[in-house]
Amino acid sequence: MFHALADRTRRDILRRVLAGEHSVSALAANYDMSFAAVQKHVAVLEKAGLLTKRRRGREQLASGDVEAVRSVASMLAELEQIWRGRIARIDDLLATDTPQKG
Amino acid sequence: MPVTDVRHDLDNRSLTIVADFAAPVERVWRIYADPRQLEKIWGPPTHPATVVEHRLEPGGRVLYYMTGPEGEKYPGYWEVEAVDEPKSFTFLDRFADEEFNPKVEMPAARCVYSFAEHEGGTRATYVSTYETVEALQQVLDMGVIEGASLAMGQIDELLAA
Protein backbone atom coordinates (compact mmCIF):
# COMPACT_ATOMS: atom_id res chain seq x y z
CA MET A 1 0.00 0.00 0.00
CA PHE A 2 2.69 2.46 1.00
CA HIS A 3 4.68 1.46 -2.06
CA ALA A 4 1.71 1.99 -4.37
CA LEU A 5 1.07 5.43 -2.89
CA ALA A 6 4.73 6.28 -3.23
CA ASP A 7 4.58 5.33 -6.90
CA ARG A 8 1.49 7.44 -7.39
CA THR A 9 3.19 10.45 -5.82
CA ARG A 10 6.24 10.01 -8.05
CA ARG A 11 4.07 9.74 -11.13
CA ASP A 12 2.33 12.94 -10.09
CA ILE A 13 5.63 14.73 -9.45
CA LEU A 14 6.89 13.56 -12.83
CA ARG A 15 3.75 14.81 -14.55
CA ARG A 16 4.21 18.26 -12.97
CA VAL A 17 7.91 18.63 -13.76
CA LEU A 18 7.39 17.47 -17.34
CA ALA A 19 4.93 20.33 -17.76
CA GLY A 20 7.48 22.85 -16.47
CA GLU A 21 10.19 23.60 -13.96
CA HIS A 22 9.08 23.58 -10.33
CA SER A 23 10.91 24.30 -7.11
CA VAL A 24 11.01 21.31 -4.82
CA SER A 25 9.26 23.32 -2.10
CA ALA A 26 6.44 24.25 -4.50
CA LEU A 27 6.10 20.56 -5.38
CA ALA A 28 6.06 19.59 -1.71
CA ALA A 29 3.14 21.95 -1.07
CA ASN A 30 0.95 19.68 -3.23
CA TYR A 31 1.26 16.62 -1.04
CA ASP A 32 0.20 15.68 2.41
CA MET A 33 3.68 14.56 3.42
CA SER A 34 6.88 16.02 4.76
CA PHE A 35 9.26 18.07 2.63
CA ALA A 36 11.89 15.38 3.25
CA ALA A 37 9.58 12.68 1.89
CA VAL A 38 8.87 14.66 -1.27
CA GLN A 39 12.59 15.34 -1.63
CA LYS A 40 13.18 11.59 -1.44
CA HIS A 41 10.72 10.96 -4.29
CA VAL A 42 12.42 13.68 -6.34
CA ALA A 43 15.76 11.97 -5.67
CA VAL A 44 14.42 8.62 -6.92
CA LEU A 45 13.27 10.27 -10.14
CA GLU A 46 16.61 12.05 -10.48
CA LYS A 47 18.52 8.80 -9.99
CA ALA A 48 16.35 7.17 -12.66
CA GLY A 49 17.44 9.95 -15.05
CA LEU A 50 13.87 11.16 -15.54
CA LEU A 51 14.31 14.49 -13.76
CA THR A 52 17.14 17.02 -13.47
CA LYS A 53 17.73 19.53 -10.71
CA ARG A 54 19.48 22.89 -10.58
CA ARG A 55 19.99 25.43 -7.84
CA ARG A 56 18.74 29.00 -7.80
CA GLY A 57 19.84 30.68 -4.60
CA ARG A 58 18.39 28.62 -1.78
CA GLU A 59 15.88 26.94 -4.03
CA GLN A 60 16.20 23.63 -5.84
CA LEU A 61 14.47 23.63 -9.21
CA ALA A 62 13.38 20.38 -10.79
CA SER A 63 12.41 19.71 -14.37
CA GLY A 64 11.47 16.55 -16.22
CA ASP A 65 13.66 15.13 -18.98
CA VAL A 66 11.04 14.66 -21.70
CA GLU A 67 13.35 12.63 -23.94
CA ALA A 68 14.37 10.23 -21.16
CA VAL A 69 10.77 9.69 -20.09
CA ARG A 70 9.70 9.13 -23.67
CA SER A 71 12.50 6.65 -24.29
CA VAL A 72 11.90 4.58 -21.13
CA ALA A 73 8.16 4.65 -21.81
CA SER A 74 8.58 3.40 -25.37
CA MET A 75 11.01 0.69 -24.31
CA LEU A 76 8.55 -0.58 -21.69
CA ALA A 77 5.79 -0.47 -24.32
CA GLU A 78 7.91 -2.65 -26.64
CA LEU A 79 8.59 -5.08 -23.82
CA GLU A 80 4.89 -5.20 -23.11
CA GLN A 81 4.36 -6.46 -26.67
CA ILE A 82 6.95 -9.19 -26.12
CA TRP A 83 5.08 -10.20 -22.98
CA ARG A 84 1.71 -10.18 -24.69
CA GLY A 85 3.12 -12.59 -27.26
CA ARG A 86 4.52 -14.81 -24.53
CA ILE A 87 1.20 -14.84 -22.63
CA ALA A 88 -0.62 -15.78 -25.84
CA ARG A 89 1.81 -18.70 -26.32
CA ILE A 90 1.22 -19.89 -22.74
CA ASP A 91 -2.51 -19.71 -23.37
CA ASP A 92 -2.13 -21.71 -26.60
CA LEU A 93 0.06 -24.31 -24.90
CA LEU A 94 -2.47 -24.76 -22.08
CA ALA A 95 -5.27 -25.09 -24.64
CA THR A 96 -3.53 -28.08 -26.26
CA ASP A 97 -3.76 -30.08 -23.02
CA THR A 98 -6.03 -33.10 -23.17
CA PRO A 99 -9.36 -31.93 -21.79
CA GLN A 100 -9.99 -33.43 -18.37
CA LYS A 101 -13.31 -34.78 -17.28
CA GLY A 102 -15.23 -32.28 -15.18
CA MET B 1 -7.48 -12.09 -23.97
CA PRO B 2 -5.85 -13.53 -20.85
CA VAL B 3 -3.81 -10.37 -20.04
CA THR B 4 -5.84 -8.57 -17.39
CA ASP B 5 -3.49 -5.82 -16.26
CA VAL B 6 -0.29 -4.12 -17.35
CA ARG B 7 1.69 -1.66 -15.30
CA HIS B 8 4.71 0.37 -16.40
CA ASP B 9 6.85 1.99 -13.71
CA LEU B 10 9.13 4.54 -15.30
CA ASP B 11 11.14 5.40 -12.21
CA ASN B 12 12.32 1.89 -11.45
CA ARG B 13 12.03 0.61 -15.03
CA SER B 14 9.67 -2.19 -14.18
CA LEU B 15 6.96 -3.90 -16.12
CA THR B 16 4.17 -5.84 -14.41
CA ILE B 17 1.95 -8.16 -16.41
CA VAL B 18 -1.05 -9.89 -14.88
CA ALA B 19 -2.69 -12.70 -16.82
CA ASP B 20 -5.45 -15.19 -16.08
CA PHE B 21 -5.12 -18.71 -17.41
CA ALA B 22 -7.79 -21.40 -17.57
CA ALA B 23 -5.65 -24.05 -15.90
CA PRO B 24 -4.70 -24.99 -12.34
CA VAL B 25 -1.68 -23.38 -10.69
CA GLU B 26 0.24 -26.68 -10.80
CA ARG B 27 -0.28 -26.89 -14.56
CA VAL B 28 1.01 -23.36 -15.17
CA TRP B 29 3.98 -24.09 -12.92
CA ARG B 30 4.89 -27.11 -15.07
CA ILE B 31 5.55 -24.78 -18.03
CA TYR B 32 8.48 -23.34 -16.08
CA ALA B 33 9.52 -26.63 -14.49
CA ASP B 34 9.74 -28.41 -17.86
CA PRO B 35 12.44 -27.07 -20.24
CA ARG B 36 10.62 -28.41 -23.33
CA GLN B 37 7.46 -26.46 -22.42
CA LEU B 38 9.46 -23.37 -21.47
CA GLU B 39 11.06 -23.38 -24.95
CA LYS B 40 7.61 -23.29 -26.50
CA ILE B 41 6.56 -20.10 -24.79
CA TRP B 42 9.75 -18.09 -24.13
CA GLY B 43 10.76 -16.84 -27.56
CA PRO B 44 8.53 -15.60 -30.38
CA PRO B 45 8.39 -17.59 -33.63
CA THR B 46 11.15 -15.39 -35.09
CA HIS B 47 13.45 -16.06 -32.10
CA PRO B 48 12.82 -19.57 -30.77
CA ALA B 49 14.45 -20.45 -27.45
CA THR B 50 16.51 -23.55 -26.72
CA VAL B 51 17.02 -24.47 -23.06
CA VAL B 52 20.35 -26.25 -22.55
CA GLU B 53 20.44 -26.52 -18.77
CA HIS B 54 17.55 -26.29 -16.36
CA ARG B 55 17.73 -26.26 -12.60
CA LEU B 56 14.78 -24.39 -11.13
CA GLU B 57 15.93 -24.31 -7.52
CA PRO B 58 17.61 -21.72 -5.27
CA GLY B 59 21.18 -21.27 -6.53
CA GLY B 60 20.35 -23.13 -9.73
CA ARG B 61 20.54 -21.81 -13.27
CA VAL B 62 18.44 -22.03 -16.39
CA LEU B 63 20.66 -21.64 -19.47
CA TYR B 64 19.13 -20.84 -22.83
CA TYR B 65 19.77 -19.18 -26.10
CA MET B 66 17.45 -17.62 -28.59
CA THR B 67 18.12 -18.01 -32.30
CA GLY B 68 17.35 -15.07 -34.58
CA PRO B 69 16.17 -15.19 -38.20
CA GLU B 70 19.76 -14.98 -39.51
CA GLY B 71 20.87 -17.82 -37.25
CA GLU B 72 22.42 -15.43 -34.74
CA LYS B 73 22.42 -16.72 -31.17
CA TYR B 74 21.55 -14.72 -28.07
CA PRO B 75 22.58 -16.68 -24.98
CA GLY B 76 21.21 -15.79 -21.59
CA TYR B 77 20.57 -17.40 -18.27
CA TRP B 78 18.47 -17.18 -15.19
CA GLU B 79 20.21 -17.11 -11.85
CA VAL B 80 17.51 -18.60 -9.65
CA GLU B 81 17.25 -16.96 -6.24
CA ALA B 82 14.11 -18.34 -4.62
CA VAL B 83 11.58 -21.04 -5.45
CA ASP B 84 8.27 -21.64 -3.70
CA GLU B 85 6.69 -24.35 -5.82
CA PRO B 86 4.07 -23.92 -7.28
CA LYS B 87 3.44 -20.38 -6.07
CA SER B 88 6.41 -18.28 -7.09
CA PHE B 89 10.02 -18.03 -8.16
CA THR B 90 12.53 -15.21 -8.34
CA PHE B 91 15.52 -14.94 -10.62
CA LEU B 92 18.04 -12.58 -12.15
CA ASP B 93 17.89 -12.58 -15.93
CA ARG B 94 21.42 -12.20 -17.32
CA PHE B 95 23.05 -11.81 -20.69
CA ALA B 96 25.79 -14.31 -21.41
CA ASP B 97 28.49 -15.12 -23.95
CA GLU B 98 28.54 -18.36 -25.96
CA GLU B 99 29.97 -20.26 -22.97
CA PHE B 100 27.28 -18.88 -20.68
CA ASN B 101 29.65 -16.66 -18.76
CA PRO B 102 27.96 -13.47 -17.61
CA LYS B 103 28.44 -10.82 -20.26
CA VAL B 104 28.16 -7.82 -18.01
CA GLU B 105 28.52 -7.39 -14.29
CA MET B 106 24.92 -6.27 -13.86
CA PRO B 107 21.95 -8.53 -14.47
CA ALA B 108 19.49 -7.26 -17.05
CA ALA B 109 16.48 -7.72 -14.86
CA ARG B 110 15.24 -9.04 -11.55
CA CYS B 111 12.13 -11.10 -12.16
CA VAL B 112 9.41 -12.33 -9.83
CA TYR B 113 6.84 -14.70 -11.28
CA SER B 114 3.93 -15.68 -9.07
CA PHE B 115 0.87 -17.82 -9.51
CA ALA B 116 -2.31 -17.90 -7.46
CA GLU B 117 -5.61 -19.72 -7.71
CA HIS B 118 -8.21 -17.37 -9.16
CA GLU B 119 -11.81 -18.23 -10.09
CA GLY B 120 -11.00 -21.84 -10.83
CA GLY B 121 -7.94 -20.95 -12.90
CA THR B 122 -4.63 -19.26 -12.31
CA ARG B 123 -3.76 -15.61 -11.97
CA ALA B 124 -0.12 -15.13 -12.95
CA THR B 125 1.78 -11.96 -12.04
CA TYR B 126 5.07 -11.30 -13.83
CA VAL B 127 7.21 -8.46 -12.53
CA SER B 128 10.43 -7.62 -14.40
CA THR B 129 12.54 -4.79 -13.05
CA TYR B 130 15.34 -3.64 -15.35
CA GLU B 131 18.46 -2.55 -13.51
CA THR B 132 19.45 0.17 -15.97
CA VAL B 133 18.14 1.91 -19.08
CA GLU B 134 21.02 0.22 -20.95
CA ALA B 135 19.80 -3.23 -19.87
CA LEU B 136 16.33 -2.39 -21.11
CA GLN B 137 17.80 -1.23 -24.41
CA GLN B 138 19.92 -4.37 -24.74
CA VAL B 139 16.90 -6.64 -24.43
CA LEU B 140 15.18 -4.77 -27.23
CA ASP B 141 18.35 -4.69 -29.33
CA MET B 142 17.96 -8.44 -29.78
CA GLY B 143 15.31 -7.48 -32.28
CA VAL B 144 12.77 -9.71 -30.62
CA ILE B 145 9.63 -8.25 -32.07
CA GLU B 146 6.29 -9.80 -31.55
CA GLY B 147 5.01 -9.52 -35.10
CA ALA B 148 1.62 -11.01 -34.49
CA SER B 149 0.87 -9.07 -31.35
CA LEU B 150 2.09 -5.81 -32.90
CA ALA B 151 -0.33 -6.43 -35.74
CA MET B 152 -3.07 -7.13 -33.21
CA GLY B 153 -2.30 -3.85 -31.47
CA GLN B 154 -2.59 -2.02 -34.77
CA ILE B 155 -5.94 -3.69 -35.48
CA ASP B 156 -7.16 -2.64 -32.03
CA GLU B 157 -6.12 0.92 -32.76
CA LEU B 158 -7.95 0.91 -36.07
CA LEU B 159 -11.09 -0.41 -34.44
CA ALA B 160 -10.86 2.22 -31.70
CA ALA B 161 -10.42 5.06 -34.20
User: How far away is chain B from the Cα of A56, in angstroms, using its nearest Cα?
Assistant: 25
A57 and A70 both lie in a single domain:
no
> pLDDT at position B11, please?
87
pTM of the model: 0.82
pLDDT of residue B148 exceeding 50, the answer is no
> pLDDT at position A51, please?
93
pLDDT of residue B108 exceeding 90, the answer is no
Query: Which residues in chain A come in under a pLDDT of 70?
Result: 1-6, 98-102
3-state secondary structure of B32: helix
Q: Does domain B3-160 match CATH 3.30.530.20?
A: yes
> pLDDT at position B50, please?
96
A10 and A32 both lie in a single domain:
yes
> What is the arithmetic mean of pLDDT over B64-71?
88
- The mean pLDDT value of chain B amounts to 86
A70 and A44 both lie in a single domain:
no
- Of B10, B22, B137, nearest to A94 by CB-CB distance is B22
A82 and A58 both lie in a single domain:
no
**Among A44, A38, A50, A51, which Cα is nearest to A9's?**
A38
* B75/A6: higher pLDDT: B75
A25 and A35 both lie in a single domain:
yes
Chain A CA closest to residue B38 = A90
- The domain of A25 spans 2-64
CB-based contacts of B46-50 (< 8 A; 24+ apart in sequence): B46/B144, B46/B145, B46/B147, B47/B74, B47/B142, B47/B143, B47/B144
**Contact: B140, A79; criterion CB under 8 Å:** yes
> pLDDT at position B160, please?
53
For residue A71, the Cα-to-chain-centroid distance in whole angstroms is: 12
* B86/A49: higher pLDDT: B86
Domains of chain B, by residue range, sit at: 3-160
Question: Which residues in chain A have Cβ-Cβ distances shorter than 8 Å to B152?
Answer: 84
Chain B residues near any Cβ of chain A (below 8 Å): 1-3, 6, 8-13, 15, 17, 19, 21-23, 27-28, 31, 37, 40-42, 44, 124, 126, 128, 133, 136-137, 139-140, 144-146, 148-150, 152-153
A70 and A58 both lie in a single domain:
no
Q: Where are the alpha helices (DSSP H) in B1-146?
A: 25-33, 35-42, 133-141
> pLDDT at position A99, please?
65
A13 and A48 both lie in a single domain:
yes
Indicate the number of domains in chain A. Answer: 2
Number of A/B CB contacts below 8 angstroms equals 105
pLDDT of residue B152 exceeding 50, the answer is no
Give the ipTM of the model, two decimals please.
0.85
What's the CATH number where A20 sits?
Answer: 1.10.10.10
A45 and A84 both lie in a single domain:
no
A59 and A45 both lie in a single domain:
yes
**Contact: B31, A78; criterion CB under 8 Å:** no
pLDDT digit string, tens, across residues B112-145: 999 999 999 999 999 999 988 888 887 777 766 5
> pLDDT at position B143, please?
62
A40 and A77 both lie in a single domain:
no
A28 and A46 both lie in a single domain:
yes
